[in-house]
Amino acid sequence: MARLKVDRLAIGLFLAVSATAFETLAVGTMLPTIAEEFDGDRLYGATFVVYMLANLVSLVAAGERADRTGLRRPFLFGAASFAVGLLIAGTANSMWMLLIGRAMQGAGSGIFVSLSFVAVRRAYSDERQAAMYALISTGWVLPSLISPFVAGWITSTVGWRWVFIGMLPLAGIVVLLAVPQLAGVDSQSQLADEPAPSRIPLAIAIAAGIGLMTAASYSSRWWLVTSLALVGVVIVVASLRRLMPPGLLTAHPGRPAAIAARICAMAAFNGADFFIPLAARRIHDASPTVQGATILGAAVGWNLGQWFAVRAGDRIGFHRMVPAGFVVLAAGTASSIAVLSSDTPLWVTFITWSIGGVGMGVLFNPTSQIGMGSASSEAAGLASTQLSVADVFGFSVMAAVGGALVSFADQTSLSLRTALGSAFVLATVVALGGAFAGRRIRPAESV
């Protein structure tokens, strides 16, 4: 593996991804407190979903603009959207206003993440790309080492609003570091010669379909729930078939299998990570700081797992690491169901969910390497879009399903333990399905 030489662009991309990661992870720590303040359990899952739906549309639009016009202008737009979203969320007086702020943040973070992958593909040599993908992934992991404590402490002392507002200066720093470098990358990049059909309508359709599936959970009428959910599923499946590479459903070797694996990975991991803090709050009566600390081990494990994958990937084979990572992830999600027992100390969940984090770290980078490595430079935006959509889709579906279960528990006689337990079981099943997709991953020729 080539030694990583850190430059201004690398620092800017790292901070951009770190900012979105810190905000995302902090919300997971703060949300039980925010939901109590605004009496908003019914919108608990929607807070995650609206973020990711905006993220989905923006990352597709950003990848498309990157292929057509370059990186600098969409990156600037992403920074502005992220900053405005932080301000709105920090001054929110209801769950609905918080949702608006989260949507703006999601749009900005989608642009950051999508363009970061494209920038690595265009600005760095093949030998340095694996290390850069690891750096970007670390941008997600390292904030989780501090954000649970920082967000929990701020929430307990001066209030959760200052977590959002305190991040505003970071958006300006990211712009100063990255934008001048991206202008240089644009001047040396080969862009698409002829505009391809826009992928944005497909992204909007996928977001609308997931939105309908989520909205179904807020109705008590079974016929309306069934109708909205079915329409949503049809829209999502039809749109994904057009946006994703052929062979996704059968996990065809190469990029299709890598993308299928990423969908399963994000759904399985977040099926536990979303709801462990909520269980810690409602079942164990834990403080905001302890809620965040409970999922800290997963962040440490992810970091260790991903660096192991980078260092040993060439020797062991990236494609062999993916199914192994899924098996470890499934072990973590299954054993973490113990958090639903008030008799089980939270340090046990810390350990069990650390196992899940290791599995996620082992499989995450190899799927990025194979998915992006199969794309030519001029098609890097499309490949980045497909990988990012896979992440968002897996994230959003699990948030919608898990959020629906929590909403049902809030409105019916279903217990919160049963709702959360169902989410953990589903996450484990999805992880085992990801192991099957992972076994079919093989490097593919550039397309």
Instruction: Return the closest-CA partner of residue 395 out of 264, 278, 295.
Output: 264
For residues 284 and 411, membership in a common domain is answered with: yes
In a domain, 228, yes or no: yes
Query: Do 385 and 352 share a domain, yes or no?
Result: yes
For 99-121, write each residue's pLDDT tens digit: 999 999 999 988 888 888 788 77
**How many domains, in total, are found in the chain?**
2
Q: Where is average pLDDT lowest: 106-110, 183-187, 441-445?
A: 441-445
445 within a domain of the structure (yes/no): no
Angle between helices 380-411 and 222-243 (to 10 degrees): 170
pLDDT at 447: 39
Question: Identity (one letter) of the amino acid at 444?
Answer: A
d(C-alpha 328, C-alpha 363), whole Å: 10
How many Å apart are CA 108 and CA 86, to the nearest integer? 10
Q: Could you tell me the pLDDT band of residue 4, with boundaries at 50, 70 and 90?
A: very low
The pLDDT of residue 353 is 94
CATH of the domain at 274: 1.20.1250.20
- pTM higher than 0.75, yes or no? no
Candidates 192, 164, 166, 177; CA nearest to 76 is: 177
Is the same domain home to 393 and 432?
yes
Residues 173 and 48 grouped into a single domain: yes
238 vs 282, 381, 414, 427, CA distance in Å?
Answer: 39, 22, 33, 24
* Same domain assignment for residues 127 and 27: yes
Sign for the CA dihedral angle at 394, 397, 400, 401 comes to negative
Q: What is 86-126 written as a DSSP string?
A: HHHHHT-SSHHHHHHHHHHHHHHHHHHHHHHHHHHHHHS-H
Residue 444 has what pLDDT? 44
Pair 189, 70: CB distance under 8 Å: yes
Q: What is the pLDDT of residue 192?
A: 54
220, 126: one domain: no
Q: Is residue 102 within 8 Å of residue 43, measured between CB atoms? A: no
| Residue 192 placed within a domain | no
Burial (Cβ within 10 Å: 0-12, 13-18, ≥19) of residue 144: buried
pLDDT, mean of residues 377-397: 73
Residues 360, 432, single domain; the answer is yes
Residue 412, domain member (yes or no): yes
Per-residue model confidence as pLDDT tens digits over 123-180: 776 667 777 777 777 777 678 778 877 888 898 888 899 999 998 998 888 888 888 8
289 and 406 part of one domain: yes
18: confidence class by pLDDT, cuts 50, 70, 90: confident
**Tokens encoding 63:** 């990848």
Query: 404 versus 285: which is more confidently predicted?
Result: 285
Mean pLDDT of 209-238: 77
Q: What's residue 81's pLDDT?
A: 93
Question: What does the pLDDT average to over 278-288?
Answer: 88
Q: Is residue 3 part of a domain?
A: no
Residues 377, 417 within the same domain: yes
Please tell me the least confidently modeled range out of 48-52, 206-210, 325-329, 372-376: 372-376
**Mean of pLDDT values over 352-365:** 91
Note whether residue 444 is domain-resident: no
- The per-residue pLDDT of the chain, averaged, comes to 81
DSSP result, 338-405: GGG-TTS-HHHHHHHHHHHHHHHHHHHHHHHHHHHHTS-GGGHHHHHHHHHHHHHHHHHHHHHHHHHH
Poorest-pLDDT segment among 249-263, 311-325, 406-420:
311-325
CA 361 to chain centre: 13
Is residue 447 domain-resident? no
445 versus 286: the higher-pLDDT residue is 286
Distance CA 63, CA 200 (A): 10
Domain that holds residue 225: 198-243
Mean pLDDT of the 282-310 span: 84
Residues 324-354 have pLDDT tens digits of: 899 999 999 999 999 999 999 999 999 999 9
- Residue 167 sits in the same domain as residue 257: yes
278 and 220 together in one domain: no
Q: Are residues 166 and 249 in the same domain?
A: yes
CA 361 to CA 350: how far, in whole Å? 16
Q: Side chain identity at 243, as an amino acid letter?
A: L
**Domain assignment of residue 138, yes or no:** yes
